[in-house]
A and B are shown apart, each in its own frame.
Chain A
Amino acid sequence: MSKEIILEVKDLSKNFGGVKAVNQVSFQLERGGAIGIIGPNGSGKSTLINLITGFVKLSSGQVHYRGKNITGLAPHKIVNLGVARSFQMAKPYYHMSVFKNLIIPLFSPRVRKLAGGKYGDRDEAAIHLLEDVGFERDSNVPYKAAGSLPHGYVKRLELARCLALEPDLIILDELFSGMSMSEVASILPFLESLREEGKTLIMVEHRLRELFRVVDKAIVLNFGHKIAEGSPEEVMNNEEVRKAYLGSEVDSGA
């Protein structure tokens, strides 16, 4: 029973001046799968995400999404095809209420085309999304300015923003960073439920213990190269991976 290959990345490279931030990285992802992208700081993880999602122009290589060649496509067009991404430095629209922050993705061309979707009415959709990611039910937090949210909630809002786009592929750039252990624990079941719905996940993370509870495959980057690919155990036992992480914090819970 073969699943649809939802994302195919071939020999992706990016040069910044003389520095190769991403160097010939390739991988494939099946629908419903979940893959983690890990590596020490500066290994090119965020750049890789930016290349795939079109926010940074790639130097060479190809990206195929659901069989369609999206190499070089403008980022907003890629979003409208069903790819949602979060940002490492999550910046909501500070002056607008949390609620309004979600109205914008819900107003996007893609969602307007899919009209109705899972939750029906748009305002309902916003409330449900917020509840799903962990905002308390029936509180008045959604009406407060997004700039006044504590960090953990900003991250949750970022996740809600992605989900509002009704994506097939969700790419999360360090969602867990800055969240407390309990916050992460509360969000894990939700991420698992996304997979059950048939959504595909890519997660860039530093917090490996939590990450490996969600993903079943991992790619390790170092200095822009892919140095390992496989299950979490295979990857953590890999000699090169250990050498790459030597000196930096690792909480692999091995």
Chain B
Amino acid sequence: MRVQAGLRKERLDRGIKARTDDIFAIGSPREIMYLTMPRVVVIAALFTFPLLKDFTGMYWQNVMMITATIALLALSWDMLHSVGLVSLGQALFFGVGAYTTGYLNYHLGISPYISIPMATVVGAFICTAILFPVLRLRGIYFGLITFALPLLMMRVIEATKILGGTEGMSGLTPLPGITIKLYVIIAVALVCVFGFQRLFDTDYGLVLKAIRDNDRTVIAAGFDVQWYKAQALFIAALPATFAGAFLSHHYQFVGMPAFAMDYSILPLASVIIGGPGSFVGAMLGAFILVPLSEFLRAFGTLRIVIYSLMMLIFVVGVPEGIFHYLKRKYHQFERVVSIEEVEKK
């Protein structure tokens, strides 16, 4: 005789998910909608926002700028994390990008349309070169060095007064209109999200994932792991240095604050809360935290405490992050089921 011995939770794919698992999803409009709707809705919302300028006011448009910037830094972090590197100093990339374009524009008079791309690539190259020796060592070493470098850069700039010292370089050439700027930065962020996701679907991306899992075996498969890590580092640096360069022309100013801890903490908290590993999570986290941070502006530096606390709670208690939770909910449902067992006589 079967008897209920207890209860357990069961997760099952929703019917529509099971049907859309392979190419036959194209057959039905409903299934196509199921797959594409989340992405389409989000992208549409993102692209409509700048047009609502008059409705939301300049203040929130600027907030969107910063959100997109943090999203880029968070995406960069997620890319590094996918190869097994934890960066505690995204501000390093941001600052290097910022100062490179600052130097090119302020001292050499190069137009931002050239200096920004240049700063992105050259900045990424500089950061890769600086961090290359650390790649050989354990993952946390990378974290410690990236933590220390931006702080040091700030103090050195302050002490030696190079590149403008405490005053920085102001009066950088501006970029046209807020709307265009927003579109550019949002577009770049989306390109990164999809680009990185596609990258990790390729064989090359598989090797990168494997390096994170077990780099010894990857070496034993004949790959020059250091070189791969360096490539990944370079690719990851690009969105971050771009963000630094771009934002500098938005504010028309580069100074020590480019290396500020905020640019390290906020992206980190965003990814941890949004969910590392999915890239979308990084963006999601940024879109939650930055506006939240703006709401809390009245509380001064308590904001930092609050989102650091959130980050702590998530990293310790909810490591999968919000995005994976949402995704799971979208694709699966849970129900409580009784455990049966045969009654022993």
Contact = CB atoms under 8 A, between A and B. Distances in A.
Interface stretch (A9-17, A21-29, A107-115, A214-222): A107-115
B217 A110 contact: no
Sorting the interface of chain A by its residue count into under 10, 10 to 19, 20 to 34 or 35 or more gives 20 to 34
Given A74-B224, A87-B220, A107 B203 contact: yes
Contacts of A76: 219-220, 222-225
Interface stretch (A89-97, A127-135, A190-198, A243-251): A89-97
Contacts of A111: 222
A88 to B, nearest CB: 12
Contacts of B222: 76, 79-80, 105, 108-111, 165
A79 B225 CA distance: 13
A111 B217 CA distance: 16
Given A76-B225, A103-B203, A107-B203, A93 B220 contact: no
Nearest to A84: B220
B217 A91 contact: yes
A108 B223 contact: yes
Interface string A46-87: 000000010100000000000000000011110110001101
A79 B221 contact: yes
A104 B219 contact: no
A110 to B, nearest CB: 5
Given A80-B222, A109-B223, A87 B217 contact: yes
Contacts of B127: none
* Most-contacted residue by chain B among A76, A94, A100 (CB, 10 A): A76
B107 interface: no
Secondary structure of the B contact surface, majority rule: helix
A179 B336 CA distance: 40
Interface residues of B, number: 17
B221 A165 contact: yes
Contacts of A79: 219-222
A13 B225 CA distance: 26
A32 to B, nearest CB: 23
Nearest to B213: A93
B210 A104 contact: yes
A93 B214 contact: yes
B225 to A, nearest CB: 7
* Most-contacted residue by chain A among B209, B221, B224 (CB, 10 A): B221
Contacts of B210: 93, 96, 104
A206 interface: no
B218 interface: yes
A91 B213 CA distance: 10
B217 A93 contact: yes
Contacts of A75: 219-220
B206 A108 contact: no
Interface in B197-230: 203, 206-207, 209-210, 213-214, 216-225
A92 B217 CA distance: 8
A95 B211 CA distance: 12
B205 to A, nearest CB: 11
A161 B210 CA distance: 14
* Most-contacted residue by chain A among B207, B210, B222 (CB, 10 A): B222
B218 A104 contact: yes
A161 B217 CA distance: 9
Contacts of B206: 96, 100, 103-104, 107
* Most-contacted residue by chain B among A80, A92, A95, A104 (CB, 10 A): A104
B127 to A, nearest CB: 25
B207 A87 contact: no
Contacts of B209: 93, 96
B213 A94 contact: yes
A85 B219 CA distance: 11
Contacts of B214: 91-93
A110 B221 CA distance: 9
Contacts of B225: 76
A53 B222 CA distance: 11
Contacts of A85: 220
Given A91-B217, A108-B223, A165-B222, 16 more contacts: A53-B220, A77-B224, A87-B220, A91-B214, A93-B213, A95-B213, A96-B209, A104-B221, A105-B221, A105-B222, A107-B206, A107-B207, A109-B222, A111-B222, A161-B217, A161-B220
30 contacts: A53-B220, A74-B224, A75-B220, A76-B220, A76-B223, A76-B225, A77-B224, A79-B219, A87-B217, A91-B216, A91-B217, A92-B214, A93-B209, A93-B210, A93-B217, A95-B213, A96-B209, A96-B213, A100-B206, A103-B203, A103-B206, A104-B210, A104-B218, A105-B221, A107-B206, A108-B222, A109-B222, A109-B223, A161-B217, A165-B222
- Enumerate the 10 nearest inter-chain pairs by beta-carbon distance, A residue then B residue, closest first: A108-B222, A79-B222, A105-B221, A93-B213, A80-B222, A107-B203, A108-B221, A76-B219, A76-B224, A93-B210
